Amino acid sequence: MARMGLAPVLGYLIVEENFNVALGVFVLAGVTDLLDGFIARNWANQKSALGSALDPLADKILISVLYVSLTCANLIPVPLTSMIILRDAALIAAVFYVRYKTLSPPRTLSRYFNPCYATAQLKPTFISKLNTAVQLILVAASLAAPVFNYVDSIYLQTLWCITAFTTVTSAYSYYHYGRKTVQVIKNK
């Protein structure tokens, strides 16, 4: 919940070009993500169906807001942000489709959106995990660029290319491996 709450704050700070504070808030969001993962791995009674549904959603919201805001601030090119948003939208659409196909009748809205009726789990591919890491590195580097005066750096531009490559490769991996990335939990 903290990451979802920090997303609009980060977006506002970036659009207002308050990059010093935005960089600090981004680090805080990262710490909450690490803390959330640590707690979920080490205390079994802290895991929940709602938490496992909200965690990837919070990541997608945060990444999307950061990329759009950084693009508005002219720190990340429009085509790269478009590519990332389109990939994530396609993945979300696929998740909704899988949810529909694995939820047994009656398929009511309350059952469909109830995370307690877990029917399938998406297993990220290796390249998808790598892509997420590269995307976050680019966000951190882009936020730090105006703070440390390297906005026009060739290294930042190289990171754009690497991010584009891992984003396309990740999208292709989900398309290619399709069913292998989805594990049906139970038929409800």
The residue ranking higher by pLDDT, 37 or 77, is: 77
- Judge whether 92 and 57 are in contact, CB under 8 Å: no
Whether the predicted pLDDT of 30 surpasses 80: yes
Verdict on whether the full-model pTM lies above 0.75: yes
Phi/psi of residue 162, nearest 5 degrees: -65, -40
Mean pLDDT for the stretch of residues 172-180: 84
- Reported as a single tens digit per residue, the pLDDT across 104-134 is 888 899 888 887 777 877 778 899 989 999 9
129 vs 164, higher pLDDT:
164
Angle, CA 125 vertex, CA 95 and CA 184 arms, to 5°: 45
Tell the residue number behind the tokens 């909704």, with chain if given: 96
Residue 50: band (very low, low, confident or very high) from pLDDT cuts 50, 70, 90: low
pLDDT at 38: 86
pLDDT digits (tens, 9 = 90+) for 53-65: 677 788 889 999 9
Handedness of CA 108, 113, 118, 124 (dihedral sign): positive
Q: Is the pLDDT of residue 172 over 80?
A: yes
Collapsing DSSP to helix, strand or coil, 109 comes out as helix
Residue range 70-84: mean pLDDT, rounded: 97
* Dihedral (CA of 61, 175, 168, 37) sign: positive
Query: Any idea how long the chain is?
Result: 188
What local confidence, expressed as pLDDT, does residue 188 receive?
44
